[in-house]
Structure 1
Amino acid sequence: MYTLGIDIGSTTSKCIILKDGTEIAGKSIVVAGTGTDGPHLALEEVLKDAGLTRDDIACTIATGYGRKLFEEAEGEVSELSCHARGVHFVFPDVHTVIDIGGQDAKVLSLNEKGRMMNFVMNDKCAAGTGRFLDVMANILKLDISQLEVEAAKSENPASISSTCTVFAESEVISQLAAGTNLPDLVAGICQSVATRVASLVRRAGVREKVCMSGGVARNAGVRNAMAKELGVEIAYNDMAQLMGALGASLYAYDKIKSGENTAQ
């Protein structure tokens, strides 16, 4: 039996197909989110990756910002619940999840069974999100994937003190003009994101084991800065950006097995 989870975010659409609720049969990531054709492109790609057709899928569950707009799903589940479920599937011993997406940052506290007990969220400001990194990469004329490479070269990270993306943009431009070298500036930007999000983590409570999910988790510069800021090891898996879609696919499997409505 195959189930599909689709996570429609603000900037990216992600899909996971599971076989019998245990084996990943296909996955896709398309850099186009809610309000675009990204969700349908992601659906096409995941089916192609799995070698399946739409008729092979027993149930589809949608999550993320655009979940209510995706009419091809049989149900929807909040991204908070899906990230908790997906992370627990990959890391059964994780108790704190730091999820940094394109437009927000969330911190989830999980119990021993992977159930979400508490969460803290920042969706009011771009600082501490993927959008912040995108803006900074554009200023520095770098691809977003180059940030972690440059940050690794730094010996003296620059201080980015502004708490607003607009002011931080001006600060970075000023530091460039003052001759701050690129690796130190990039490391400072990664540290800035870690500092902002670490304050959310402390509000939720740091319970080890800690992991990062979401697109920003792929940036080792941010992960390393976060580990240093919190004083804990940060668990990471290449599936980080797909945790929400994975959780949605698991909920789809539950829906078929139990016959119950999983909408939340």
Structure 2
Amino acid sequence: MISLGLDSGSSMTKAVLLEDTKIIDTKMIPTSISPRKSLEALYREIKKQHKEIDVIVTTGYGRNLLDQADFKITEITCHAAGAFFMNPDCDTIIDIGGQDSKVITIDDLGCVTDFLMNDKCAAGTGRFLEMTMKRVESEIERIDTFVKDAKPAKINSMCAVFAESEIVGLLAQDIAPGDIVLGCVESICQRTAAFAQKLAPANPKVFFSGGLAQFDVIKQSLASHLGVKEVATDPLCQYTGAIGAAVLGIRKIKR
């Protein structure tokens, strides 16, 4: 049985093709001004290469936009299923997305027990860090090398708009760009950890998902602020929601 999971995110639209318990294909494209068109384009691309698909599950902000979907499932449920698929030992999932951040706790079977979502402020998201890297004339993909040997500048603002003004002021004071970026990383991870600790158990086994989970400096900072040795992740961490959607699709057709 083959299941297609599609995650329509604010920054990227992702697809995962699962054959029983094996991932056989992944694709990702930027989410355009029309999430519907991005979702449909990615669906068509997958269908060109894989004719036989038994079930299609959508999740994310645009989960209701694909007419061909058999099931539409919330991102909380799909992130839990995806994280558990990649790391069955985890009990807490932290996702820092382009537009929001969320914390999910799960039981021994990977079922959601509770969750919190922060979608009211951009200062704790990937979008804020992208903006910061543009301000220092670099790319977010270079962040690990960009902050090497840096000392974090203090970022006091809790609002993305005011924080951007603060960054402009720090640059005007000739503060090293690497120090400013590392200060932003520390600010994001500190507020994410404080947010997570409202829900996570003592000594949580954390799985870190989302695009920012690819970067060592962010993983290390988040672990430090959580007070844990490390946070687990996976090379496919950015596909967590799409993986979960595909996993749940397999479960539904098996029933």
Alignment TM class, shorter chain as reference:
over 0.9
Structure 1 residue 223 and structure 2 residue 222: aligned?
A: no
Q: Counterpart of 1:35?
A: 34
Q: How far is 1:224 from its partner?
A: 1.4
> In the superposition, relative to structure 1, how do residues 250 and 216 fare at CA in structure 2: closer, same or farther (>3 Å)?
same
Show the counterpart of 1:76: 72
Name which of 241, 245, 249 aligns with 1:248: 245
Aligned partner of 1:25 in structure 2 is 24
Q: Deviations over 1:20-75 (max 9, x none)?
A: 2x011110111115733221232244456xx412xx00000000010011212111
Alignment of 1:1-264 (within 5 A): 1-20=1-20, 22-32=21-31, 35-36=34-35, 37-47=37-47, 51-53=49-51, 56-154=52-150, 156-206=151-201, 207-232=203-228, 233-258=230-255
Instruction: Work out the percentage of aligned pairs sharing the same amino acid.
Output: 37
**Number of matched pairs:** 252
What is the one-letter code of the residue matched to 1:157?
A: P
Equivalent position SS for 1:200: helix
Structure 2 unaligned spans of 5+: none
Q: Root-mean-square deviation (CA), in Å?
A: 1.5
Counterpart CA distance in 2 for 1:226 and 1:73 is 36
Shift, 1:90, TM fit: 0.7
Name the SS for the 2:137 alignment partner: coil
Contact residue 101 and residue 130 of structure 1 kept, 8 A: yes
Q: Which moved more, 1:76-85 or 1:141-150?
A: 141-150
- Taking structure 2 as the reference length, the TM-score comes to 0.94
Cα distance per residue 1:87-121 (max 9 Å; x no partner): 00110000111011111000001111111111111
The TM-score with structure 1 as length reference comes to 0.91
